[in-house]
Structure 1
Amino acid sequence: MTMVKNNSLPKTPSGVSGLDEITTGGFPKGRPVLICGSAGCGKTLFAMQFLVKGITEYNEPGVFMSFEESASDLGKNVRSLGFDLEQLKSENKLRIDHVHIERSEIEETGEYDLEGLFIRLGYAIDAIGAKRVVLDTIESLFIGMDNLSILRSEIRRLFRFLKDKGVTAVITGERGENSLTRQGLEEYVSDCVILLDFRVIDQIATRRLRVVKYRGSTHGTNEYPFIIDESGISVIPVTSLKLDYESPTDVISYGLSDLDSLFTLNGLYRGSSTLITGTAGTSKTILASYFAMASYKRNEPVLYFSFEESPEQLLRNMDSIGLNLRPAVEAGLLHIHASRPSLQGLEMHLLLLHKLMSELRPKTVIIDPISSLITIGSSSEVRGMLVRLMDTLKTNQINALFTSLTHNNDNVHSDPTVDAVSSLADNWINVRNENRKGTRERSLLVVKARGMGHFNGKKEFAISNKGFKFKEDNL
């Protein structure tokens, strides 16, 4: 997704990875932002990350005013994300104020107002020169109130107070049954409204974010998955990129001289994507491992996604054919991430891949096999995810290799995953096993290679304890 920056509205970085791209720069500076959603969707963590990152990365002190959790409870809850609130408080960069509200004692009498809160909040802001403020959660202020006109008036006055103080404020609110919030009022007086959602589909949990409204600024309008892990919240804009990436002309070795010789340029274009298809036992993972070894020999980092084998199993199996990948792992140039596809949804796998690519900066990415993804999504959903992934890989000129398990030697196009991906890949290699007089014969065919000529006949090969080797006679 490519967006045009809107420079007319000053922005404050959100501190949440990926969100600033969706909002073309961050939150509206000096204005209130409403974060709403149901219980457990991550509102408080979202707001706390906004404060902590503002302090640590942008030197903007912040105030967190909580109406539900105490300061000690908040500190414990976010410590797992690496947020040391006590340290920030000792440096006089963070103020946490817990306003205790006893619901059973609340009674609306006379003219209800928030004047006492304004004084308390204003003092905290002035004491540390705060630039960011969080109010978590706003519903607690109005429990027991029946007069909606007063409620509307006080909310407007609260937002006006925050604007007058010149702070960028994040206000969290619980999702209502028929509106974004329980009162259904806050969204009418907020400059920016973000909805968080936590849903479970087919026993797979996914968190999603949507920018409902953003006054004076362009923004992404889709739903975007986000994850919460040990480093905080990450949002990845996952809509497809434009077809405007560069196409390198330099050639890299596949890692097998026999295989390189099948291409007229004696290798593959750097930054291209290669699909290897075949039925079970046709050496797809072996060919993928040779590709990883070639990247290691070029001193280029490799990210290997394995959906069927653990890292140790993969290393052991490759050792048996004389392909020792352990030095690459020990050198930190080969990172093997192994998990079952059913661990999370399609978009969450894409988010994790983006996150690992950002951390490891690989030059080669291998996914073995992509056909496993069909168990957690339809063919169209898998294709949509892989389109976005391939766009990202090509934009960053990353060498990509995907393996896919097929169930029919004679008509690989009938396989839903191959049908979804084959047209996207730059190179397509099909491997197969055939029984001939009680002997299994392995063969390989280059189906296509964009931008270069290639050998268009089948080649028989063998796998031994010395690795991959073409047979002398062509088929």
Structure 2
Amino acid sequence: MDFENIEKAPTGIKGLDMITEGGFPRGRNTLIYGGPGTGKTFIAMEFLLKGASVYGEPGVMVSFDEAMENLIENFRSSDRLLERLIDEGLLFIEDASRGMDPDAGSYSLEALKLRLEDAIRRTGARRVVLDKVDNLFDGTERQGMIGFELRELIRWLNGMGVTSVFTSGDYGGSPTHRLEEYISDCVIHLTHTFEGQVGTRHLRIVKYRGSGHGLNRYPFIITRRGASIFPITSISLDYSVSRELVSTGIPTLDEMLGGGVYRGSAVLVSGTTGAGKTSLLSKFAYESCRRGERCLFFSNEEPADQIVRNMESIGIKLGEFLGDKLLIHSDRPTSLGLEAHLTYMQDLIMDFNPDSVLVDPVTGLAGAGGSPETRNENAKHLFIRLTDFLKGRGITSIFSYLIASPFTATTTELKLSSLIDTWIVLESIRANGEYRRSLRILKSRGMNHSSSVAEVRFTDRGILIKGAPGEGWGCYLMIRLRLYVTGDSLSERALENLMDVIDDRVELEVVNVLEKPWLARERGIIAIPTLERLNPGPERRVIGDLSDADALRRFLGI
């Protein structure tokens, strides 16, 4: 047996329609309760505004708290939407803010009902809000009678087919004056809590008759664009995926990846400090702009000018595209809570409409995640929402991730591995007293990628990955050779023969033993010419003029 949800009136509030599976119960009553500043009036007013402006459902607001002129001022927008709807007769504010007069006997709320009936008739309202309805109970001993009148009012509104929303205060985690008992079909609880110095509003659906709904406590935020509720995942996993490959801007890396990365996929570039994560992201941004695409770069550590300056040193001219194809937004996530930061990012993405989004580093978001016990989990939830948001719009995303130790290069504290499509690992490898940067592809879903290790160099000519993939994806790591000579004919033939065989995967150092006899002594060199393979290990030697090309290639491993 499959039960169907009751008919819904969409709220138009980001995320709320998802967790209510369509909105508030149409033709029935919803109660929203919470303490001061939790957002009750805001959500109720946005329900009316979206109803009248988007869904063709005029509305009436009865305010028992704020005077009409204050409400208009509080909800004034750049397009003067509230004022226009009032002027057009699509929204009516019934000002009942003066409260109840002292009673001297029994009474009813008939006058309120008649005022409501007149307002509904004037506007053709399909939505009604009674804001701070619990104020009706203040200063009266006849709370049972008020409760009865409210039950009758809800029945009357339901009978008219009007979708109604009541808002109320919070007393010990429950609605004041036990308002949930007054036959509300949907009850929503709003709270405002603090972790450290960061405050967060949360929403929970206490009950919803005749409908499925989300069961979690959902963070939400109020911005100039309205309220935004954040489910664990922002959208269901039913978005379409692209089969188009986009270039990273580094041809050799594209070959290692099997052709590039899929458009709309999520890419993680991890590494320790100084491994080159920002440089890799910047190269992708530059090449995206060169293709005529738009790129939004969120920098959580450096100002935009500093990134532009630093990247010029390796031939990446980001400044050519700033303001047109490229937007670099620099901000420390700790300046806002996680939800506020995510909302700001989403707003900027919708305004700029990029083809790709870069976040450098995503680990910076954990610092805004609240207490040390919860920050990683909170940051992971933000990452889920952001990647879902981007994938649902077909936006390619690249995130850098700061690894605390080279021993944890293939793990992340935020446990993101299952959420990303391609994972590139940058590391520093020590060889013969030197540190060299290496790159490998840990995973790339749907791609026949290399599993080899490549050496990466950042030069004034750009980012160089030494080597090109050969049959079976041969070794990418830089081959370092040292040839000991004395300038005689044997030495000259050895150098010529070696140069005929090696390619740009090989770094060659030629040592004249006449000038550096101490090095020959230190390395135990006896014969001339002698060729040493220093890297990759183990170290090996061969002597002679290197005229046997096949033997030389076997020695070099190429």
Name the CA distance, whole Å, in 2 between partners of 1:369 and 1:310: 13
Cα 1:248–1:217 shift into 2, 3 Å: same
In structure 2, how many angstroms separate the alpha carbons of the residues matched to 1:286 and 1:140?
59
**3-state secondary structure, aligned to 2:359:** strand
Spell out the pairing of 1:422-433 with structure 2 (5 A cutoff).
Answer: 422-433=417-428
Which letter maps to 1:432?
E
Structure 1: how far apart are the matches of 2:181 and 2:284?
A: 52
| Cross-structure match for 1:300 | 293
Preserved CA contact (<8 Å) 2:205 2:215:
yes
Alpha-carbon distance in structure 1 between the residues aligned to 2:91 and 2:303: 43
* Partner in structure 2 of residue 11 of structure 1: 8
The Cα of 1:178 is off from its aligned counterpart by 4.8
The answer to whether the aligner puts 1:212 opposite 2:209 as a matched pair is no
Q: What is the match of residue 135 of structure 1?
A: 130
Alignment map for 1:214-363 (pairs within 5 Å) = 214-239=208-233, 248-263=242-257, 265-331=258-324, 333-363=325-355
Counterpart in the other structure of 1:126: 121
- Letter paired with 2:251: S
Q: Tell me, what secondary structure is at the counterpart of 1:58?
A: coil
Relative to 1, partners in 2 of residues 1:374 and 1:249: Cα closer, same or farther, differing over 3 Å?
A: same
Partner of 2:202: helix, strand, or coil?
strand
User: How far, CA to CA, are the matches of 1:223 and 1:239 in structure 2?
Assistant: 13
Partner in structure 1 of residue 469 of structure 2 = none
- Deviation digits for residues 111-161 of structure 1, max 9, x if unmatched? 132111111121111122222222111011121223342132111012122
**Does residue 162 of structure 2 align to residue 167 of structure 1?**
yes
Give 1:25's aligned residue.
22
Task: Decide which of 107, 110, 126 is 1:112's aligned counterpart.
Answer: 107
Which structure 2 residues correspond to residues 61-100 of structure 1 after superposition, within 5 A? 61-80=58-77, 83-100=80-97
Q: Which of 115, 139, 143 is matched with 1:144 structurally?
A: 139
Work out whether residues 358 and 399 of structure 2, in 8 Å CA contact, stay in contact via their aligned partners in 1.
yes
How far apart are 1:464 and its partner, in Å? 2.9
Moved more, 113-122 or 406-415: 406-415
Structure 1 letter corresponding to 2:280: L
Deviates more, 1:300-309 or 1:67-76: 300-309
Give the secondary-structure state (helix, strand or coil) at the position aligned to 1:330: coil
Local SS of the residue matching 2:232: coil
Give the match for residue 43 of structure 2.
Answer: 46
TM-superposed deviation, 1:365? 2.4
SS of corresponding position for 1:212:
strand
Provide the rounded CA distance (Å) in 1 between the counterparts of 2:77 and 2:434: 56
- RMSD of the TM alignment (CA)? 2.8
Residue in 1 that maps onto 2:33: 36
Answer yes or no: is the 8 Å Cα contact 1:462–1:469 preserved in 2.
yes
Aligned CA distance change for structure 1 residues 320 and 37 (closer, same or farther; 3 Å): same
| Distance in 1 of aligned mates of 2:407 and 2:173 | 54
Q: Is the 1:444–1:459 contact (alpha carbons within 8 Å) kept by the matching residues of 2?
A: yes
User: Which of residues 57, 81, 93 in structure 2 aligns to 1:60?
Assistant: 57
Quote the Cα distance in structure 2 between the aligned partners of 1:46 and 1:66: 14
Q: Is residue 441 from structure 1 mapped to residue 436 from structure 2 by the alignment?
A: yes
CA distance, structure 1, for counterparts of residue 103 and residue 41 of structure 2: 27
1:184 corresponding residue in structure 2: 178
For the pair 1:373 / 2:365, whether they are aligned, the reply is yes
Provide closer, same or farther for how the CA distance between residues 52 and 452 of structure 1 changes in structure 2, counting only shifts above 3 A.
closer
In 2, the alpha carbon distance for the partners of 1:409 and 1:77 equals 53
Separation in structure 2 between the aligned mates of residue 281 and residue 48 of structure 1, nearest angstrom? 50
CA pair 428-22 structure 1, distance change in 2 beyond 3 A = same
Deviation at 1:82, TM superposition (A): 5.0
Distance between the aligned counterparts of 2:302 and 2:319, measured in 1?
Answer: 15
Q: Percent identity?
A: 41
The one-letter amino acid paired with 2:318 is L
The alpha carbon displacement at 1:403 in A equals 0.7
Q: CA deviation at 1:229?
A: 1.1
Q: Secondary structure at the match of 1:60?
A: coil
What amino acid is the match of 2:178?
G
Aligned-partner Cα distance in 2 for 1:414–1:226: 30
Distance 1:424 1:84, change over 3 A: closer
Q: Is the 8 A contact 1:277 1:406 kept in 2?
A: yes
Aligned-partner SS, 1:285: helix
For 2:110 and 2:180, the matched residues in 1 are separated by 19
Distance 1:243 1:55 in 2: 31
| 1:206 partner SS | strand
For normalisation by structure 1, the TM-score amounts to 0.88
- Specify the SS of the correspondent of 1:88: helix
Q: Return the offset for 1:291.
A: 1.7
Q: Once the 2 structures are TM-superposed, how far is the Cα of residue 443 of structure 1 from its aligned partner?
A: 2.6
- Which shows bigger deviation, 183-192 or 439-448? 439-448
Which of 505, 525, 528 is the aligned partner of 1:473? 505
Contact 1:206/1:344 (CA < 8 Å) preserved in 2?
Answer: no
- Whole-angstrom distance in 2 between the partners of 1:64 and 1:96: 5
2:147 touches 2:182 (CA, 8 Å); kept in 1? no
Unmatched segments (≥5 aa) in structure 1: none
Structure 2: tracts of 5 or more residues without a match: 467-503, 507-535, 537-558
Check 1:193–1:435 CA distance in 2 against 1; reply closer, same or farther (3 A cut). same
Query: What CA distance in whole angstroms lies between the structure 2 residues aligned with 1:36 and 1:431?
Result: 50
Deviation at 1:63, TM superposition (A): 1.5
Distance change >3 Å, CA 250–CA 58, structure 1 → 2:
closer
Distance 2:48 2:384 in 1: 35
Partner of 2:488: none
Separation (CA, whole Å) in 2 of partners of 1:128 and 1:441 = 73
Q: Residues of 2 paired with 1:11 and 1:116: CA distance?
A: 30
CA distance in 2, matches of 1:296, 1:47: 43
Distance 1:28 1:411 in 2: 50
**d(CA) in 2 for partners of 1:467, 1:270:** 24
Aligned to 2:527: none
3-state SS of the aligned residue for 2:406? coil
CA pair 452-163 structure 1, distance change in 2 beyond 3 A: closer
Letter in 2 for 1:58: Y
Assess if the C-alpha contact under 8 Å between 1:236 and 1:351 holds in 2. Answer: no
State the partner residue of 1:383.
380
Decide which of 441, 456, 465 is 1:461's aligned counterpart. 456
Which residue identity is paired with 1:224? Y
> How big is each residue's C-alpha offset from its partner over 1:405-460, in whole Å with a ceiling of 9 and x where there is no partner?
1232344246524xx12344332222234566776533322333333333433322
Letter in 1 for 2:177: Q
